[in-house]
Amino acid sequence: MEDLKDIKPQQSIELLKALHILTRDGRMNQDSRRKLKQVYHLYQLIEPYLEKALATNLQFTLVDHGAGKSYLGFILYDLFLKDKGGTLFAIEHRPELIEKAKALADTLKFDRMHFFASDIKNSLEDSNLPNKVDMVTALHACDNATDDAILFGLKKKAQYIVLIPCCQAEVSKTLRSEKSDQLKYTLSELWRHPIHTREFGSHLTNVLRCLLLEGMGYKVTVTELVGWEHSMKNELILAENIHQPKKIALERLEEILKTCHLESLKSRFLPII
């Protein structure tokens, strides 16, 4: 069938139907084709990390935070973990989505997929999760949930952390709340107008996250997932632990917080690990 030419040969057709990427009769519309292309592009970027994790640990573990309907988890399991090994844990705070994902995993016999109804912060204390994990993913985890995912990865000594941040509001909110005092400084012109407050706050948030990861020994790559015409929530942060902490990165992080008068957020961006 013409619609199947874009689908990877090892991909489960039943899974794609369950995820509504394919219709019941196996067809695909333009929107579904674009969604599949984006998912495959993300998989292509993550696959080298999966191969490295597998090479060092046949029983490697992956934790997907803010999993939602577990699109990413199911695709990663189907294309990689299913045949090669590894266990995937999906964390999502909405119980109804967890129950649906469990049912689908049972139907497809994806036995090494496990689902937990929890938020990211509380999952750190969950004894059902391993003390050490190999990879952490958090795609579109809203606002500071991305920071919670980073903290989870750091505390679990994750070798790889993959993030697509979303709705970074905390920094922008702090910039707005303290604007009257900050307007004394020339640098505040970068965020004086409301649209600039939002955009600068979002950009600054991700810069601080990257500095934290580099400071903790990770090699960080920042790129775009798809063209901006498809999605504005598009920044992809890939981090690999090379065990070379950069003291200067943490110093610059702290200096940026001070320069932008964001010292109140120090515990968020310089957590005690």
Distance CA 133, CA 160 (A): 9
Identify which of 149, 159, 133, 154 has the alpha carbon closest to the alpha carbon of residue 48: 159
Does any domain span residue 160?
Answer: yes
Report CA 24 to chain centroid distance, whole Å: 30
Residue 2 pLDDT exceeds 80:
no
Distance CA 115, CA 63 (A): 10
- The C-alpha angle with vertex 123 and arms to 121 and 125, in degrees rounded to 5, equals 95
Tell me the chain's radius of gyration from C-alpha atoms.
20
Residue 230 pLDDT exceeds 70:
no
β-partners of residue 221 are 238
The pLDDT, as a whole number, for residue 229 is 40
Residue % of the chain over a pLDDT of 90 = 62
Q: How far is residue 66 from each of residues 40, 134, 184, measured CA to CA in Å?
A: 19, 17, 39
Does any domain span residue 64?
Answer: yes
The tens digit of pLDDT for each residue in 95-129 reads: 999 999 999 999 999 999 999 999 888 898 888 89
Mean pLDDT of 3-20: 84
Does any domain span residue 164?
Answer: yes
Q: Could you tell me the CATH number of the domain that includes residue 174?
A: 3.40.50.150
Does any domain span residue 39?
Answer: no
- Is 218 in a helix, a strand, or coil? strand
Greatest alpha-carbon pair distance for the chain in Å reads 65
The tens digit of pLDDT for each residue in 23-81 reads: 888 788 788 888 888 888 899 999 999 999 999 999 999 999 999 889 899 999 999 99
Does any domain span residue 249?
Answer: yes
How many domains, in total, are found in the chain? 1
pLDDT band of residue 9 (cuts 50, 70, 90) is confident
pLDDT band of residue 4 (cuts 50, 70, 90) is low
Does any domain span residue 21?
Answer: no
Considering the chain, what is the average pLDDT of its residues?
89
Does any domain span residue 171?
Answer: yes
Query: Which string of DSSP letters, residue by residue, matches 111-173?
Result: TTEEEEE--HHHHTT-TTS-SS-SEEEEEEEETTHHHHHHHHHHHTT-SEEEEEEE---HHHH
Phi and psi at 91, nearest 5°, equal -115, 125
Identify which of 120, 126, 114 has the alpha carbon closest to the alpha carbon of residue 153: 120
Domain span at 128: 59-269
Mean pLDDT of 87-97: 95
The pLDDT, as a whole number, for residue 233 is 64
56: tokens are: 């060092």
The pLDDT, as a whole number, for residue 156 is 96
The pLDDT, as a whole number, for residue 106 is 97
Does any domain span residue 27?
Answer: no
The pLDDT, as a whole number, for residue 251 is 97
pTM: 0.92
